[in-house]
Structure 1
Amino acid sequence: MTPLTLAFLPLTDSAVLVAAREKGFAAAEGIDLGLVRTTSWATLRDRLVYGQVQGAHMLAPLAIAVTLGLSQHPAALAAPFRLNVNGNALTMATGFAAALDPDPARRIDDPVATAHDFAAAIGLHHRKPIIGIVHRFSSHALMLRYWLGYAGIDPDRDVTLRVLPPSLMVEALRAGEIDGFTAGEPWNSVAVMEGLGEIVAVGARIWRRGVEKVLAFRADWMETHPEPVDRLLVALSHAASWCDDPDHHGELADLLARPNYVGQPAEAILPALTGRLVLRPGDAPIAISDFLLFYREATAFPWRSQALWIYSQLQRWKMLSPTGTLERRAADVFRSDVYRRALGATGQPMPGASMKLEGALDSPFGVGSHRGPLTLGPDRFFDGRVFDPEDLRSYLAGFAAK
Structure 2
Amino acid sequence: MTDRTSPISMNRRRFLGSTAATAGTAALFSAIGASFPAGVFAQGAGPETPTAQLGFIALTDAAPLFVAKEKGMFDKFGMTDVTVTKQSSWGATRDNLVLGSAGSGIDGGHILTPMPYLIASGAMTQNNQPTPMYILARLNLGGQCISVGKEYADLALSLDTAPFRTALEAKKATGAEVKAAMTFPGGTHDLWIRYWLAAGGIDPNTDIATIVVPPAQMVANMKVGTMDCFCVCEPWNEQLKNQGIGYTALTTSELWMNHPEKAFAMRADYVDANPRSALALTMAIQEAQMWCEDTANKEEMAEICARRQWINAPFADVVDRMKGNFDYGNGKLVENSPHQMRYWADNASYPYKSHDLWFLTEDQRWGYLPADFDKAAIIDRVNREDLWREAAKELGVAAADIPATTSRGVETFFDGKSFDPENPDAYLESQSIKALS
The aligned runs of 1:63-212 (5 Å cut-off) are: 63-73=116-126, 74-100=130-156, 107=158, 111=159, 114-125=160-171, 127-212=176-261
Secondary structure of residue in 1 paired with 2:232:
strand
What's 2:421 paired with? 389
* Aligned mates of 1:119, 1:91 — CA distance in 2: 15
TM-score w.r.t. length of structure 1: 0.88
Match of 1:19 in 2: 67
Counterparts of 1:333-352 in structure 2, within 5 Å, are 333-348=382-397, 349-352=401-404
**Percent identity for Structure 1 against Structure 2:** 28
2:88 — aligned with what? 39
Following superposition, the deviation at residue 327 of structure 1 comes to 4.1
Structure exhibiting the larger radius of gyration computed from Cα positions: 2
* Letter matched to residue 278 of structure 2: V
Q: Distance in 2 between matches of 1:314 and 1:242?
A: 33
Pair 1:61 & 2:107 matched: no
The worse-fitting range, judged by mean Cα deviation, of 121-130 and 300-309 is 121-130
Amino acid aligned to 1:329: I
Mark the CA change 1:284 to 1:298 in structure 2 (over 3 Å): closer, same or farther: closer
Cα offsets for 1:248-282 (capped at 9, x unmatched): 11111111111110000111111231111221178
1:310 aligned partner: 359
Partners of 1:280 and 1:273 lie apart in 2 by: 16
Query: Which deviates more from structure 2 when the two are superposed, residues 170-179 or residues 391-400?
Result: 391-400
Shift of 1:98: 2.1
User: What residue identity is the alignment partner of 1:241?
Assistant: M
Partner residue, 2:289: 240
Contact 2:186 2:368 in 1 (8 A): no
Q: Which residue of 2 aligns with 1:258?
A: 307
Partner of residue 7, structure 1: 55
Instruction: Report the CA distance between 1:39 and its aligned residue.
Output: 1.1
Partner amino acid for 2:391?
A: A
Whole-angstrom distance in 2 between the partners of 1:10 and 1:219: 24
Letter in 1 for 2:166: A
Q: Which residue of 1 aligns with 2:323?
A: 274
Identify the match of residue 406 of structure 2 among 347, 351, 354: 354
Structure with more strand by fraction = 1
SS of 1:230's equivalent?
Answer: helix
Of stretches 271-280 and 303-312 in structure 1, the one that deviates more from structure 2 is 271-280
Specify the code of the residue in structure 2 equivalent to 1:5: Q
CA distance in 1, matches of 2:335, 2:229: 21
Corresponding residue number in structure 2 for 1:375: none
Q: Name the aligned partner's letter for residue 138 of structure 2.
A: R
Q: In structure 1, what is the Cα distance between the partners aligned to 2:362 and 2:178?
A: 22
One-letter code aligned to 1:53: I
Distance 1:196 1:255, change over 3 A: same
Counterpart residue type for residue 19 of structure 1: V
1: CA distance between counterparts of 2:231 and 2:59? 13
Please tell me whether the aligned partners of residues 54 and 85 of structure 2 are also in contact (alpha carbons under 8 angstroms).
Answer: yes
- Give the secondary-structure state (helix, strand or coil) at the position aligned to 1:238: helix
Change in Cα spacing, 1:173 to 1:338, as seen in structure 2 (3 Å) is same
Instruction: Give 1:59's aligned amino acid.
Output: L
Structure 1: gaps of 5 or more residues: 102-106, 360-379
The CA deviation at 1:38 is 1.1
User: Over residues 100-130 of structure 1, what are the superposed CA-to-partner deviations in whole Å (9 max), with x where a residue is unaligned?
Assistant: 45xxxxx3xxx2xx22222232223353421
Cα distance in 1 between the residues matched to 2:237 and 2:419: 29
Shift of 1:326: 4.4
Gap regions ≥5 residues in structure 2: 1-38, 40-49
Question: What SS class does the counterpart of residue 90 from structure 1 fall into?
Answer: strand
Structure 1 runs of 4+ off > 4 angstroms?
281-287
Q: Is the deviation greater in 55-64 or in 11-20?
A: 55-64
Aligned equivalent of 2:341: 292
2-structure distance, mates of 1:123, 1:130:
12
- Local SS of the residue matching 1:289: coil
CA-CA distance at 1:37 after TM superposition? 0.8
- Are residues 283 and 116 of structure 1, via their aligned partners in 2, closer, same or farther at CA, if it must alter by over 3 Å? closer
Q: Secondary structure at the match of 1:222?
A: helix
Counterpart of 2:140, as a letter, is N
Range 254-263 or range 345-354, more displaced:
345-354
Match of 2:346, SS state, is coil
Give the drift of 1:76.
Answer: 1.6
**Once superposed, what is the RMSD of the aligned Cα atoms?**
1.9
SS at match of 1:36: strand
**1:65, distance to aligned residue in structure 2 (A):** 1.1
Instruction: List per-residue Cα deviations over 1:35-70 (Å, max 9, x = no partner).
Output: 101111111111112112221210111121112211
Q: Which residue of 2 aligns with 1:362?
A: none
Cα distance change on mapping 1:265 and 1:324 into 2, 3 Å: closer
Q: Equivalent residue for 2:9?
A: none
Aligned residues: 372
